[in-house]
């Protein structure tokens, strides 16, 4: 059995994502025509103007914020797979990774924005918090994760000081949640 790692472009944005932080999901890459119509239609409705890059069939009840898809050449015959991940390229750049159930309901999504100006309160938090003195935002990208079940929205920002890199998490209002 040959396994080819397929690191989604979203996760490539930050060198700080390490294998122990990522949840690995076994999936089978499928074509749009093999994807249920409900999923294809939901993607079009949920992300107008975005271009679907790849579709994956998987068996995973829920994904965490840091997920990585590995593409299995031979998924076990009869294995129940009822979730789909779709990788999209945004109309203004950046990437979107959407996690759907078989009915076409968006359960979780992860977006990477490019050339995005972070909200002032997040920039101020990073520049004025003593624990992050000397840290700089490492890129003009950020990750936004939305969990449809809990209605939680999280912004993830990478900062660096010398060789020390951290990921800072904020809620949708820019309130600091945690650092990794």
- Is pLDDT at 28 greater than 80 in this prediction? yes
Domain tally for the chain?
1
Average pLDDT on 34-39 reads: 93
Helix, strand or coil for residue 78? Answer: coil
Average confidence score pLDDT of the chain: 77
- Residue 31: pLDDT band (50, 70, 90) is very high
pLDDT score at 161: 94
Q: Which residues contact 138 (CB under 8 A, 6 or more apart)?
A: 14, 16, 158, 159, 160, 165
- Is pLDDT at 13 greater than 50 in this prediction? no
> How many CB atoms within 10 Å of residue 48?
8
pLDDT score at 127: 93
- Distance (Å, whole) CA 19 – CA 94: 22
The three-point CA angle 121-122-128 to 5° equals: 85
Q: Domain range holding 173?
A: 3-179
Contact status, residue 145 vs residue 157, Cβ threshold 8 Å: no
What's the pTM value of the predicted model, to 2 decimals?
0.69
Q: Indicate which CATH number applies to the domain containing 156.
A: 3.10.450
Helices and strands of the chain, counted as H and E runs: 3, 12
- Residue 16: pLDDT band (50, 70, 90) is very low
- Residue 145: pLDDT band (50, 70, 90) is confident
Q: Which residues contact 21 (CB under 8 A, 6 or more apart)?
A: 66, 180
- Is pLDDT at 115 greater than 80 in this prediction? no
pLDDT score at 75: 57
Per residue in 38-48, pLDDT (tens digit) is 999 999 999 88
């Amino acid at each position: 059995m040959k396994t080819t790692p397929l690191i989604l472009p979203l996760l490539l944005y930050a060198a700080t994502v390490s294998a122990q932080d990522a949840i690995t999901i076994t999936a089978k890459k499928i074509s749009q025509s093999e994807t249920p119509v409900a999923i294809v239609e939901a993607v079009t409705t949920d992300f107008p103007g975005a271009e679907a890059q790849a579709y994956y069939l998987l068996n995973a009840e829920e994904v965490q914020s840091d997920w990585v898809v590995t593409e299995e050449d031979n998924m076990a015959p009869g294995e129940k797979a009822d979730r789909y991940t779709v990788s999209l390229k945004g109309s203004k750049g950046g990437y979107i990774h959407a996690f759907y159930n078989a009915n076409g309901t968006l359960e979780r999504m992860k977006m990477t924005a490019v050339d995005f100006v972070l909200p002032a309160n997040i920039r101020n938090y990073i520049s004025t918090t003593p624990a992050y003195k000397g840290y700089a935002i490492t890129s003009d990208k950020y990750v936004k994760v939305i969990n449809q079940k809990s209605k939680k929205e999280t912004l993830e920002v990478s900062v660096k000081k010398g060789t020390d890199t951290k990921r800072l998490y904020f809620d949708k209002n820019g309130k600091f949640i945690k650092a990794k």
